[in-house]
Structure 1
Amino acid sequence: MIKNIAIPLFAAVCLSACGEDPVIDAAECISGLSPEENSSGWRLLFDGTSLDQWRSYKEEEVNSGWTIENGCLARVGWGGDIMTREQFANFELKLEWAISPGGNSGIFIRADESGRNMHYTGYEMQVLDNALHKDASIPSHRSGAFYDMIVPDHDTSKPAGYWNQVHIIADGADVEFWLNGRMTAKFQQGSAEWQAMYEKSKFTSRPNYGSLLKGHIGLQDHNDKVWYRNIRVKDLP
């Protein structure tokens, strides 16, 4: 398994000729399953070499805005959201992400393609540089949040240049978001409490938001560079 890296990844990046676009070092981009994960049903959705299990939203393939950069899945230009070809109902998802300074992205679950983007049905665990992005001024938009719905009661995120570890559990209507070993959101999809949060959110004009118990896993293009590695999933009964 990957160990936490004590130094920021930007200490080991190269820069492009313009000096603005950070490029991750291959030593940072390791994906794989531990023996325990192998034996307990986990499988990789991204192994560092292929995007075959992914496609762009409402497209057949992953477009050029997303690529494999030295073994990490990276958003390098405008490409829209990407999503798994497969749909998942009850599952656990684990991955690591690192955001560029001032960057924004997100992880979607249980989305379909009925709307303009994944936010029309799927809901998001926020990926954000809390220190530099203006969205951090809104508590429910901070890293680890159930975006625009649940405010984390603590900031467990690591800053730009460090790897953050995500664990999402979706078991029937019960969902948990974990970031760096601490729970940041817990809710029951479709419950009275969930409905009350929905009615106060920005999604009230989207009647199918959060209505699915099975859908695609997705990664958000929010105009900023972001890296993902070691994306793995385990189906639950």
Structure 2
Amino acid sequence: MKLNLLQTLLLLSVSTLGLAQTKFKPEDTEFYTPKPPIVKLKEGVPSDAIVLFNGQNLGQWTSSSNPQQAAAWTIDGQELIVKPSSGNIQTKQTFEDFQLHIEWKSPEVIKGSGQGRGNSGIFLQGLYEIQVLDNADNPTYVNGQAGSLYKQRPPLVEVHADADGWHRYDIIYRAPRFNKDGMLVSKGIVTVLHNGVLVQNNVQIEGTTEYIGLPKLNAHGAGPIILQDHGNLVRFRNIWIRPL
């Protein structure tokens, strides 16, 4: 039996009226289990986080070019400093979805301009770069400035360092997913806060962040966090990650 528009609207009205007359108690829409796990903070670090750099050693890191070799960067005053020409470093552990906190500071002596000035990068799963670059009056292409998803998405706003010169990134990342045949199911998604300011808002990652050419998207599993040696004495500190 087909219903005309008037009959359909009448049935919907009667259904809605019946729902509105249902007597609910507050406890009808309350539940108490399962309880979320408790996370405490110690000096700003969540208790369920993996501390990747605590200012003491590089025990969580290896060389990217040869994961069997120790990371060769320098530690000075509880800060991790890029050692030019030593190559990228990466975490021993691999990750998929995560929350990452990392702080960075441009070199004490700034040289060069554009992409040659305080350049480094944070590669999610070793493939997708969030740019690190001095941005104090340093013109460059906007999808390559600090806070950008390199060569793909510029930051929503340009955020400068605090008076102490340090930048803080909080990155929430969901890895791309592939089926058992290697076919893409969903692309990666990233949100970035730069010194507490939203600069990437749940954006889709199109693929690898290539210097030349278009993004590539090949099937992969968990991957490391990579810090880039771009020849500049960029400093890092207080690095921790929470697998999600």
Please classify the TM superposition score into its range, dividing by the shorter chain length: 0.5 to 0.7
CA contact (8 A) 1:93 1:233 kept: yes
Match of 1:128 among 120, 130, 133: 133
User: 85, 88, 91: which one pairs with 1:84?
Assistant: 91
Unaligned runs of 5+ in 1: 1-32, 112-121
1:50–1:235 Cα change, 3 Å: same
**CA distance in structure 2 between the aligned counterparts of 1:52 and 1:177, rounded to whole angstroms:** 26
Structure 2, unmatched stretches of 5+, are 1-40, 111-116, 176-187
Does the aligned pair in 1 maintain the 2:136–2:160 contact within 8 Å? no
Q: CA RMSD in A?
A: 2.7
**What is the match of residue 17 of structure 1?**
none
Tell me the equivalent position of 2:236: 228
Deviation of residue 183 (structure 1)? 1.9
Report the residue type matching 2:203 in the other structure: F
TM-superposed deviation, 1:125 = 0.7
Match of residue 54 from structure 1: 61
- SS of the aligned residue for 1:164 comes to strand
Pick the aligned partner of 1:181 from 191, 196, 215.
Answer: 196
Q: Distance in 2 between matches of 1:35 and 1:229?
A: 13
Change over 3 Å in CA distance of 1:56–1:201 after alignment to 2:
closer
Identical counterparts, % of pairs:
31
Residues 1-237 of structure 1 aligned to structure 2 (within 5 Å): 34=42, 37-39=45-47, 41-59=48-66, 60-64=68-72, 66-100=73-107, 101=110, 102-111=117-126, 122-131=127-136, 133=138, 136-158=139-161, 162-172=165-175, 173-185=188-200, 186-189=202-205, 194=206, 202-204=212-214, 207-208=216-217, 212=220, 214-236=222-244
Measure, in 2, the Cα distance between the counterparts of 1:94 and 1:199.
20
CA spacing shift, 1:167–1:203, aligned 2, 3 Å: farther
Q: Shift in Å at residue 231 of structure 1?
A: 0.3
CA–CA separation in structure 2 for the residues paired with 1:160 and 1:129: 14
TM-score between both structures, scaled by the size of structure 2: 0.66
* TM-score between the two structures when normalised by the length of structure 1: 0.68
Distance across 1 between alignment mates of 2:44 and 2:197: 21
The structure that has the greater radius of gyration is 2
Equivalent-residue separation in structure 2 for 1:97 and 1:182 (angstroms): 15
